[in-house]
C-alpha cells in the first residue's frame, strides 16, 4: 500500500518502501512547507508545470539525489539544460517506470518559468500515478474541466488531490464538481492558504464533497491509499 505525504501547497511524496518520488517540490520558498529540500531523498522528481510554486527546489533536489525529472517535453528539456537527468513525456502518454506507471493528463492553466514566468515550458499537465496497483491523481494547477469525467471513467482512482484555493485554480465549488466527475475513493484538498489570495476552508470542501472520503492534511501529514 503506497503512502502519500503532503509537504505543503502542491508538494506530495509517494513511497512504497522500495521507491520514493516527489511531485512539485516547492519547499524553500514556502514558509508553510513541512520539509527542507536538503532532507529530501527520492529517486524521481515529477513537475506539473513551470511556475515557481511547482518547480520549486526540483532541479536542486534532482541533481543532489541523482534522481530523474519527469515532466512534459519542454520543461524536461529546461531541467536537462540545468544539469538534471530527465525523462520527457507529454499529454496522453504513459510510461512504466521502475516505481510504477505515470500518465500525463491535460490541465487548464499556464506554463512559464523564471522570475517573470516568461521562459516557455509547454502546457501544464496532471499526473496519473499507478504504484502497487493503486492509482493516484495529481492534477497540478487546473480549473475544472469536463474531461475529468473521462479520467474518472477510465481510471479507478484510489486517491485524488484537488486544488481548492480559487484565483489561480479551481475553488471549492468546482472542486466539489471534480469529485463527482473523478469518483475517487479518497480525496485530499491542496493548493490553498499558502498565500492570502488562495485562502480557503478545507472543511467546507470536506462537508460539500459527495461520494468520496475527504481527508484534510496539514503539511507533514500522510495518508495510506
Ligand atoms: Ni501554476
Ligand atoms: Mn500553483
Give the residue-averaged pLDDT of 126-144: 98
* Burial environment of residue 77 by CB neighbours within 10 A (0 to 12, 13 to 18, 19 or more): middle
Cα 83 to chain centroid, rounded? 23
Q: pLDDT tens digit string along 30-45?
A: 999 999 999 999 999 9
Q: pLDDT tens digit string along 72-89?
A: 999 999 999 999 999 999
Would you state the pLDDT for residue 177?
A: 98
Segments forming the whole domain that contains residue 99 = 3-212
Residue 144 lies in a domain: yes
Cβ count near 207 (within 10 Å): 11
Residue 219 lies in a domain: no
Closest CA to 70 of 35, 17, 7, 19: 19
d(CA 86, CA 106): 20
Would you state the pLDDT for residue 128?
A: 99
Q: What separation in Å is there between the alpha carbon of 141 and the centre of ligand 1?
A: 5
Q: What separation in Å is there between the alpha carbon of 164 and the centre of ligand 1?
A: 13
Instruction: Give percent above pLDDT 70 in the chain.
Output: 100
Residue ranges with CB less than 5 Å from ion ligand 2: 53, 141
Q: What separation in Å is there between the alpha carbon of 111 and the centre of ligand 2?
A: 10
Residue 218 lies in a domain: no
Residue 124 lies in a domain: yes
Residue ranges with CB less than 5 Å from ion ligand 1: 51, 141
Residue 44 has which C-alpha cell? Answer: 524521481
Give the residue-averaged pLDDT of 93-98: 98
Q: What separation in Å is there between the alpha carbon of 51 and the centre of ligand 2?
A: 7
The total number of structural domains in the chain stands at: 1
Q: What separation in Å is there between the alpha carbon of 18 and the centre of ligand 1?
A: 30
Q: Is the pTM of this model over 0.85?
A: yes
Torsion angle (degrees, nearest 10) of CA 120, 165, 36, 105: -50
Residue 159 lies in a domain: yes
Q: pLDDT tens digit string along 195-213?
A: 999 999 999 999 999 999 9
Q: What separation in Å is there between the alpha carbon of 29 and the centre of ligand 1?
A: 14
Q: What separation in Å is there between the alpha carbon of 10 and the centre of ligand 1?
A: 10
224 has which bridge partners?
3
Q: Are 109 and 37 in contact (CB under 8 A)?
A: no
Q: Strand 186-190 and strand 159-163: pairing? A: parallel
Residue 146 has which C-alpha cell? Answer: 469536463
Q: What separation in Å is there between the alpha carbon of 112 and the centre of ligand 2?
A: 11
Would you state the pLDDT for residue 95?
A: 99
Placement of cell 499507478 in the chain: 130
114 contact partners, CB below 8 Å, separation of at least 6: none
* CATH number assigned to the domain comprising residue 185: 3.60.15.10
Residue 225 lies in a domain: no
Q: Considering the chain, what is the average pLDDT of its residues?
A: 98
Q: What separation in Å is there between the alpha carbon of 141 and the centre of ligand 2?
A: 5
Confidence of residue 96 (pLDDT cuts 50, 70, 90): very high
Q: What separation in Å is there between the alpha carbon of 142 and the centre of ligand 1?
A: 8
Q: What separation in Å is there between the alpha carbon of 196 and the centre of ligand 2?
A: 13
Give the residue-averaged pLDDT of 23-27: 98
Give the residue-averaged pLDDT of 166-178: 98
Residue 173 has which C-alpha cell? Answer: 465549488
Residue 59 has which C-alpha cell? Answer: 532541479
Core vs surface per residue 13-43: b (16+ CB within 10 A) or e:
bbbeeebbbbbbbbbeebeebbbebeebebb
d(CA 179, CA 162): 8
Placement of cell 518502501 in the chain: 17
* Ramachandran angles phi, psi of 4, nearest 5°: -110, 135
Residue 98 lies in a domain: yes
Residue 222 lies in a domain: no
Q: pLDDT tens digit string along 64-74?
A: 999 999 999 99
Q: What separation in Å is there between the alpha carbon of 50 and the centre of ligand 2?
A: 9
Amino acid at each position: 500500500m503506497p503512502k502519500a505525504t503532503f509537504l505543503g501547497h502542491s508538494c506530495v511524496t509517494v513511497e512504497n518502501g522500495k521507491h520514493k518520488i516527489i511531485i512539485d517540490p516547492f519547499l524553500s520558498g514556502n514558509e508553510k512547507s513541512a520539509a527542507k529540500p536538503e532532507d529530501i531523498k527520492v529517486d524521481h522528481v515529477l513537475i506539473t508545470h513551470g511556475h515557481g510554486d511547482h518547480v520549486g527546489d526540483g532541479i536542486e533536489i534532482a541533481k543532489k539525489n541523482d534522481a530523474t525529472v519527469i515532466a512534459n517535453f519542454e520543461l524536461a528539456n529546461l531541467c536537462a539544460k540545468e544539469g538534471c537527468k530527465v525523462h520527457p513525456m507529454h499529454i496522453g502518454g504513459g510510461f512504466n517506470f521502475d516505481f510504477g506507471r505515470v500518465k500525463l493528463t491535460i490541465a487548464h492553466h499556464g506554463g512559464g518559468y523564471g522570475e517573470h514566468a516568461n521562459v516557455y515550458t509547454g502546457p501544464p499537465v496532471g499526473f496519473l500515478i499507478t504504484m502497487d496497483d493503486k492509482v493516484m491523481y495529481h492534477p497540478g494547477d487546473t480549473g475544472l474541466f469536463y474531461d475529468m469525467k473521462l479520467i474518472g471513467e477510465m481510471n479507478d482512482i484510489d486517491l485524488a488531490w484537488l486544488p481548492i484555493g480559487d484565483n489561480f485554480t479551481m475553488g471549492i465549488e468546482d472542486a466539489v464538481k471534480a469529485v463527482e466527475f473523478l469518483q475517487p475513493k479518497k480525496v485530499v484538498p491542496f493548493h490553498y492558504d499558502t498565500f492570502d489570495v488562495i485562502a480557503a476552508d478545507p472543511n467546507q470542501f470536506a462537508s460539500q464533497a459527495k461520494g468520496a472520503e475527504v481527508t484534510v492534511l496539514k503539511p507533514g501529514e500522510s495518508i495510506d491509499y
